[in-house]
Amino acid sequence: MELSAKYNPAEVEDKWYSYWLEHKFFHSEPNEKEPYTIVIPPPNVTGILHMGHVLNNTLNDVLIRKARMDGKNACWVPGTDHASIATENKVVAKLKAEGISKEDLTREEFLAHAWAWKEEHGGIILKQLRKLGASCDWDRTRFTMDPDLSEAVINTFVHFYKKGWIYKGVRMVNWDPEALTAVSDDEVIHKDTQSHFYHLKYYISDGNGNPTDRYLVIATTRPETIMADAAICVNPADERHHWLRGKKVLIPLINREIPVIEDSYVEMDFGTGCLKVTPAHDVHDYEIGLRHNLPVLDIIDEHGRLNEEARILVGEDRFVARKKIVKMLEESGNLLKTEEYTSPVGYSERTNAVIEPRLSAQWFLKMDKLAGLALETVESGKTRLIPDKYINTYRHWMENVRDWCISRQLWWGQRIPAWYLPDGKVVVEPDAEAALKAAQAIDPSLKAEDLRQDEDVLDTWFSSWLWPISVFDPQMPGHPDHVPNKDLSYYYPTNDLVTGPDILFFWVARMIMAGNEFMGKEPFHNVYLTGIVRDKIGRKMSKTLGNSPDPLDLIAKHGADAVRIGMLLCSSAGNDIFFDESQIEQGRNFCNKIWNSYRLIKSFAVDENTQQSDVCKVAVDWFDAKLSQTIQTVEDHYSKFRISDALMAIYKLFWDDYCSWYLEAIKPAYADGKPLPMDKATYDATLRYFEALIKMIHPVMPFISEELWQDMEQRKEGETIMFAPTPKARPFDASVITAFEMAAETINAIRGIRNQKNLPPRAPLALKIKGDFPKQAVPVIERLANTSSVEIVPEFSESNGVNFLIRTVEMFVPLTGLINVEEEIAKLEKELEYQKKFLAGVRAKLSNERFTAHAPEAVVANERKKEADSLSKIESFESQLKSLINSK
């Protein structure tokens, strides 16, 4: 194959992805090998790929591809989440744009629209993941509303209901007036919001519903709720308000009479010390109402508009009503003053509507036992959080968890399997048939049409918490007819889970609970928590800011491998990612480097009769050792989930060690305009090393590695780098590495001299070395430093030139006429001065008796070595200085 000077990912990526699919390389079935399993964090079914997905799925793919090459039976289960509220919102918005209101549709009609939407937009994101190179087992693709997965959810509900952990109760819930549903506490975001603090006069009643001229003052941010007031409350210890005891006051504008009550909940020094109690529209007020038996008057409807009970401003939106009522209160003389005020206000995570506390009947799941066990799972280390700093937050959440409100007033999702009898009794069964049977057990005369199923659906997380179990066995253990399933027993528990910390509680903790409940075992061993992808100035990526690049554009522009590298280079676990396209360019450059190194080695010719040169021998032996050393480092990084460090180690091994040093050392010389052939031993080693390198990089850069691996030799149909075993480290001689490093440092120093003295790279220079230097490194220096001669001598016989030190070895390059003696003297003096200061520091330490007495022997010995090295350097500098001065 002819190779162009630049790597072109577009020509390569689709080809190999199709090849992988065609041969079902991603597919896994239980076998005798050790399983390695990951379930995908299911993206919203109608979602599209964003940079967060790219990060997450690249990490997943790196782990799964690494495991596959490590010889495990790797299985990555993909799928999507029905995302009840998010999807329903989208469908409602789409219908609205077509002039259809959800309220005009029956449940069945609406669901038909929703499924049509899902068929049209669903799974786009999974197609996009293929572009990224994700090696998911697509045959196992799951959707949380697949019929059998829905069945698992329903059975789970029945399971907990029969266990007595699910109950229905009237509670103050977080009501989203836009989505028209309750949302959980976790779905409410509190933001400090600028508002007003209105001070209102409530006149004391004369007992007959007429105002006297005395009044009290309350301070409120929500004047539109005064019509729902049930009492005015003061702190019993607040003497300022004792005169109000037993009094009744009149609500402004509507003149309804309400009592003054006392409760220590009221803060004396906040506001006026008088609190208006509005049980229907505030959580705390509701609790005060319960304590004092106050009536609950609900004046706000599900849309957030005032209803008939309000008596005034009926039908007005709560915020419009607020403005209007302020004006009315002002006119009536009840508004004493208005203050600017900033207070936390809850917003719906989904619709950004201001949450309205609202009383309603909802279904709850008791959390105490589930949370206790889930905490134990993490604290005992059965499931590890990476980074482990999240354990504190996790513990706090588990210890303060409240019962989980699992019902949602939506249609898109699993409908709650509860049926109401005409008398209000409820039966909970997996389906209508079973429900009728159960109902007839209570009242044999009942018929199917007498039963009414609960209208609500279940919270999305109530289905996705089963994900690591239900994707393998939708019937779920715990079901009375459950038969153990081969997939579940083989793949569960899964190994690692990669996800964002924002859903640690929503999803991860709840999967642990479900795992404990149904499997008696944690669902995964490690949870790798990524950071949030931000733009380069630290803003969260969002559609509204328009600061999020389209990953597919990036892939088209730079290639999938480049995008993957770009994401990984800046992603240590748990830290937020500051994304910058230049990181992807770095990845693209690396692809090109790999590509061109391959072009070079492909151009090598072999001659079986050529003897291996010294320099080739040294380079081959060195890289052999270096490769093993780096493999050890990389494996260590992987074992600690330090993926970006593992990648960086491979990157440097490839670029610096293999390309810049190894290939430059063994690259054939030219004769008569043609490169000389290479000996076979070197050639074979070079290819062997290249193959090891592309195998090491394959989990991160699947496409280019497959392309080059396939090109290296004639591969059979069905062969792939995907299953090539990860290179293994072998024992190596560290002194081989040291020797080469010293040669490299020497070469760098000589190049530096050339650069500094403005000498052309090929200007012949002689090198003299004094002292103990590894002889095998000499040919490397000759080859790469363009020296005319390298001699190891007992003493330097001349002084006109440049002196330098490599570690503790003195070196000298004669440079007659090319050096400025004054400059050299100044340079040496500076170094000498620094060295003397350094020596003084070391000696101060050594002469401190407490140091020599307390410090470990090895540390003291090291200080002594520093002292000796420093002394020898000083001696060398001084003698160089002397001869330089003499030569003037």
Partner RNA sequence: GGGAGCAUAGCUCAGUCGGUUUAGAGCAUCUGCCUUACAAGCAGAGGGUCGGCGGUUCGAAUCCGUCUGCUCCCACCA
Residues 393-432 that bind RNA (CB under 7 A): 393, 396-397, 400
Q: Binding to RNA (CB under 7 A): which residues in 549-608?
A: 569-570, 572, 575-578, 580, 582, 585-586, 588-589, 591-593, 596-597, 599-600, 603
263 vs 261: CA distance, rounded Å: 7
Other CB atoms within 10 Å distance of the CB of residue 98? 8
Verify binding: residue 169, RNA, rule CB under 7 A.
Answer: no
Looking at 130-138, 272-280, 622-630, 875-883, which segment touches RNA (CB under 7 A)?
Answer: 272-280
Q: Which of 178, 186, 614, 719 touches RNA (CB under 7 A)?
A: 186
Decide: residue 498, CB within 10 A, 0-12 exposed, 13-18 middle, 19+ buried. Answer: buried
Q: Which of 96, 389, 425, 864 touches RNA (CB under 7 A)?
A: 389
Looking at 120-128, 339-347, 453-461, 606-614, which segment touches RNA (CB under 7 A)?
Answer: 339-347
Report yes or no: 408 and 457 within 8 Å, Cβ to Cβ. yes
Partners of 277 in beta bridges: 231
Q: Which of 257, 379, 455, 656 touches RNA (CB under 7 A)?
A: 656
DSSP letter for each residue of 813-878: EE-TTTS-HHHHHHHHHHHHHHHHHHHHHHHHHHH-HHHHHHS-HHHHHHHHHHHHHHHHHHHHHH
Considering the complex, what minimum distance in angstroms separates the CB of residue 28 from RNA? 33
Residue 9 preceded by cis peptide, ω within 30: no
Considering the complex, what minimum distance in angstroms separates the CB of residue 133 from RNA? 18
Nearest to 66 by CA among 722, 649, 563, 706: 722
79 vs 143: CA distance, rounded Å: 5
Return the number of the residue (131 or 171) whose C-beta is nearest RNA: 171
Looking at 442-450, 686-694, 773-781, 861-869, which segment touches RNA (CB under 7 A)?
Answer: 861-869
The alpha carbon torsion through 174, 177, 180, 181 (nearest 10 deg) reads: -10
Verify binding: residue 652, RNA, rule CB under 7 A.
Answer: yes
Q: Which of 41, 252, 346, 699 touches RNA (CB under 7 A)?
A: 346
Verify binding: residue 282, RNA, rule CB under 7 A.
Answer: yes
* Residue 149 in tokens: 């997965």
Residue 258, SS3 per DSSP: strand
Verify binding: residue 824, RNA, rule CB under 7 A.
Answer: no
Considering the complex, what minimum distance in angstroms separates the CB of residue 148 from RNA? 32
Considering the complex, what minimum distance in angstroms separates the CB of residue 103 from RNA? 27
Return the number of the residue (99 or 760) whose C-beta is nearest RNA: 760
495 vs 860: CA distance, rounded Å: 46
**Segment 311-315 long-range contacts (CB within 8 Å, at least 24 positions apart):** 311/227, 311/254, 312/227, 312/253, 312/254, 313/224
* Residue 838 in tokens: 């350094």
Return the number of the residue (80 or 835) whose C-beta is nearest RNA: 835
Identity of residue 382: K
Return the number of the residue (715 or 854) whose C-beta is nearest RNA: 854
Verify binding: residue 675, RNA, rule CB under 7 A.
Answer: yes
Q: Which of 264, 755, 789, 820 touches RNA (CB under 7 A)?
A: 755
> Buried b / exposed e across 16-45, counting CB within 10 Å, b at 16+?
bbeebeeeebbebeeeeeebbbbbbbbbbb
Considering the complex, what minimum distance in angstroms separates the CB of residue 589 from RNA? 3
Return the number of the residue (44 or 596) whose C-beta is nearest RNA: 596
Q: Which of 454, 525, 838, 867 touches RNA (CB under 7 A)?
A: 838
Verify binding: residue 304, RNA, rule CB under 7 A.
Answer: no
Considering the complex, what minimum distance in angstroms separates the CB of residue 824 from RNA? 16
Considering the complex, what minimum distance in angstroms separates the CB of residue 512 from RNA? 17
Number of residues counted as binding RNA (CB under 7 A): 101
Return the number of the residue (64 or 780) whose C-beta is nearest RNA: 780
Considering the complex, what minimum distance in angstroms separates the CB of residue 435 from RNA? 34
Considering the complex, what minimum distance in angstroms separates the CB of residue 266 from RNA? 4
Q: Binding to RNA (CB under 7 A): which residues in 230-269?
A: 265-267
Distance of CA 740 to the CA centre of its chain: 40
742 vs 594: CA distance, rounded Å: 26
Q: Which of 97, 858, 886, 888 touches RNA (CB under 7 A)?
A: 858
Q: Which of 255, 352, 848, 887 touches RNA (CB under 7 A)?
A: 848
Return the number of the residue (710 or 870) whose C-beta is nearest RNA: 870
Return the number of the residue (118 or 281) whose C-beta is nearest RNA: 281
CA distances from 139 to 25, 78, 144, 420, 777 (A): 11, 9, 15, 40, 55
Q: Binding pattern to RNA, positions 757-786, x when CB under 7 A? A: ----x-------------------------
Alpha helix stretches (DSSP H) within 612-699? 614-639, 643-652, 664-666, 680-697
Return the number of the residue (146 or 349) whose C-beta is nearest RNA: 349
Return the number of the residue (150 or 705) whose C-beta is nearest RNA: 705
Verify binding: residue 352, RNA, rule CB under 7 A.
Answer: no
Verify binding: residue 854, RNA, rule CB under 7 A.
Answer: yes
140 vs 474: CA distance, rounded Å: 12
* Residue 885 in tokens: 């001065």
Return the number of the residue (333 or 752) whose C-beta is nearest RNA: 752
Considering the complex, what minimum distance in angstroms separates the CB of residue 360 from RNA? 13
Return the number of the residue (317 or 576) whose C-beta is nearest RNA: 576
Q: HSE, CB side, 13 Å, CA atoms: give it for residue 638.
A: 23
Verify binding: residue 11, RNA, rule CB under 7 A.
Answer: no
Q: Binding to RNA (CB under 7 A): which residues in 620-649?
A: 644-645, 648
Report yes or no: 42 and 80 within 8 Å, Cβ to Cβ. yes
In sequence order, which residues have a C-beta less than 8 Å from that of residue 624 and are 6 or more positions away?
685, 689, 732
Q: Which of 10, 163, 752, 798 touches RNA (CB under 7 A)?
A: 752
Return the number of the residue (187 or 679) whose C-beta is nearest RNA: 187
Verify binding: residue 673, RNA, rule CB under 7 A.
Answer: yes
Considering the complex, what minimum distance in angstroms separates the CB of residue 887 from RNA? 25
Q: Binding to RNA (CB under 7 A): which residues in 83-102?
A: none
Report yes or no: 322 and 345 within 8 Å, Cβ to Cβ. no
Q: Binding to RNA (CB under 7 A): which residues in 689-748?
A: 747-748
User: Phi, psi (5° rounding) for residue 432?
Assistant: -65, -40
DSSP letter for each residue of 578-617: E--HHHHHHHHHHHHHHHHHHHHHHH--B-TTPPPPHHHH
234 vs 273: CA distance, rounded Å: 6
Q: HSE, CB side, 13 Å, CA atoms: give it for residue 518.
A: 34
Considering the complex, what minimum distance in angstroms separates the CB of residue 497 from RNA? 19
Q: Which of 283, 314, 353, 815 touches RNA (CB under 7 A)?
A: 283
CA distances from 326 to 138, 331, 713 (A): 60, 9, 82
Considering the complex, what minimum distance in angstroms separates the CB of residue 277 from RNA? 9
Looking at 219-227, 295-303, 359-367, 424-432, which segment touches RNA (CB under 7 A)?
Answer: 219-227
CA angle 649-655-657, nearest 5°? 80
Verify binding: residue 210, RNA, rule CB under 7 A.
Answer: no
Considering the complex, what minimum distance in angstroms separates the CB of residue 273 from RNA? 5
Q: Which of 31, 246, 270, 817 touches RNA (CB under 7 A)?
A: 270
In sequence order, which residues have a C-beta less than 8 Å from that of residue 183 and are 6 or more positions away?
85, 173, 174, 175, 176, 348, 349, 350, 355, 408
Q: Binding to RNA (CB under 7 A): which residues in 476-515?
A: 501-502, 505
The alpha carbon torsion through 477, 479, 481, 484 (nearest 10 deg) reads: -10
